[in-house]
Structure 1
């Protein structure tokens, strides 16, 4: 029979399993050491983990490795390629590799601008697996070297975002670049949506011919390769334009409705920054007042014409009576 495990052996096995899970689990971009929060020793400003302060360009007293996240190098437990005389090393002795020929500082990642320690694994793998490779904000198009804050991923389209634009972008990310949920290739209702391309696909056009897709996994977008999601499981809006022809859901065909024309009249066509056409803001009530004034003028003119016609008729009657009197005198 196998030997019974002791309590100490069980604890050691659980600890090894827990460490193995920690090493193999996929961390988010916020939890990566190269994207840690750092406070400058000189100006006390919060920023991303950097070799030098973004604001005052000061070298940090206790740098953090951008790959493993440690501040102290242990000579016995670490895989450091440089043999240190002491049991542990901190500061620039852990990260600052100095060239013997040009005396230049080394071990700074070109992508995340963070120190990399002297560990063999960190030096060999960080340059190829840096999570901030080609990290450019989807809104302002700035890289890591052009702003001081941290870098984030959008929860919907998974694009890189800077600290200034992350909330504004994610608030408007679930919006399609179309006026309906119809498939871009046909007139069917789109079952799945790509939040990176902002378009919908039906079940027929989202699948490519000749490819086999595994069951239970999301189908990649045929345009960009990003995983699509079911439209009914997300809160997606369609883009609506306030100018041009507008249609109602109750309206059939391609005709115009009275409500559309009324909405067109009530719309404010003022330009940007408070400007408007001709320097005067349009008001639909002004046209109604002008129409009422024109109607009053027309009524006054009609009354004047009626008075003139009555005067002419009275003059004719008087002349006829005079002619009758003169004719009677001549007969006598």
Structure 2
């Protein structure tokens, strides 16, 4: 007979299950539409930026703070407030209860927002994949790449997505064998065949594409993507220094191409 679970054991298991669900839900949040990442215009310097407790440029406090969890600017008189205000609608600094350390935005004094936002904040590890800047290092909003699902700052958003579907290889063959890679991981920039796409570490969910055996990110079929190979990057690098002609480097050979013809 298995041992009967104690109350502490049941609580610990339920807590682990909740934390696992929170982490899973965080990956499916639309970061661009979340209240902690909405557009904000400073009342003092009139500069647009991400929703913040203090202006990134002049460090001034806004007249109408926006809650980073529920997105409200006014707390009604009948709410689950930690600080009670019966018969009064509180706004401004009377509505806020804390500042999130991750998204740098106000959280209202509602009991639900204060107790859930820090664990479920979608900008917990929102470092730009291109420039490695966090939320505290720039004033713009945060986005996710529509291909590799990595975080991007507002400055690198379009430049990264234009060059994201590029493999770090010269062919579309599987990285482990010589067969054609039917599955591509846009985070590792690698292709895998049907056999090597199967992983013993990351389990494949029913009805979904196999996860990448290297990073666990969901793969996509190569035929559904506009994938290109890595040597095409050198075209754009050399055309900046050679307006009349550029060099295409492939297999350690230089081939000069005349752009006039």
Query: Quick check: TM above 0.5?
Result: yes
Question: Which TM class, normalised by the smaller chain length?
Answer: 0.7 to 0.9
Q: Which runs of structure 2 are paired with 1:1-332 in the superposition (5 Å)?
A: 27-76=29-78, 78-95=79-96, 97=97, 107-209=98-200, 213-240=204-231, 242-243=248-249, 245=251, 264=255, 266=256
| 2:140–2:153 CA contact under 8 A, matched in 1 | yes
More helix as a share of residues: 1
Provide the C-alpha distance between the structure 2 equivalents of 1:237 and 1:184, rounded to a whole number of angstroms: 15
Aligned partner of residue 47 in structure 1, secondary structure:
strand
| 2:74–2:89 CA contact under 8 A, matched in 1 | yes
Output one character per residue of 1:94-117: Cα deviation in whole Å (capped at 9) or x when no partner: 00x4xxxxxxxxx00000000000
Identify the structure with bigger relative contact order (alpha carbons < 8 Å, sequence gap 6+). 2
**TM-superposed deviation, 1:87:** 2.6
Aligned partner of residue 99 in structure 2, secondary structure:
coil
- Structure 2 residue ranges without an equivalent (≥5): 1-24, 235-247
- Structure 1 residue ranges without an equivalent (≥5): 1-23, 98-106, 247-259, 269-332
**TM-superposed deviation, 1:216:** 1.8
Tell me how large the CA RMSD over aligned residues is.
2.0
Change (3 A) 1:144 1:230: same
**TM-superposed deviation, 1:70:** 0.3
Computing the radius of gyration from Cα coordinates, the structure with the larger value is: 1
TM-score, length-normalised on structure 1?
Answer: 0.62
Provide the C-alpha distance between the structure 1 equivalents of 2:83 and 2:167, rounded to a whole number of angstroms: 54
More strand as a share of residues: 2
Change (3 A) 1:211 1:73: closer
Instruction: Give the number of equivalent residue pairs.
Output: 217
Aligned partner of residue 38 in structure 1, secondary structure:
strand
Provide the C-alpha distance between the structure 2 equivalents of 1:149 and 1:212, rounded to a whole number of angstroms: 36
Aligned partner of residue 122 in structure 1, secondary structure:
helix
Provide the C-alpha distance between the structure 1 equivalents of 2:58 and 2:201, rounded to a whole number of angstroms: 57
**TM-superposed deviation, 1:68:** 0.4
**TM-superposed deviation, 1:208:** 2.3
| 2:202–2:213 CA contact under 8 A, matched in 1 | no
Output one character per residue of 1:188-242: Cα deviation in whole Å (capped at 9) or x when no partner: 0000000000000000001025976344211111100100000001110011163
Output one character per residue of 1:121-143: Cα deviation in whole Å (capped at 9) or x when no partner: 10000011100001100001100
Residue in structure 2 matched with residue 283 of structure 1 by the alignment: none
Change (3 A) 1:209 1:53: closer
Provide the C-alpha distance between the structure 2 equivalents of 1:244 and 1:155, rounded to a whole number of angstroms: 29
Provide the C-alpha distance between the structure 2 equivalents of 1:149 and 1:209, rounded to a whole number of angstroms: 40
Provide the C-alpha distance between the structure 2 equivalents of 1:51 and 1:225, rounded to a whole number of angstroms: 35
Change (3 A) 1:245 1:120: closer
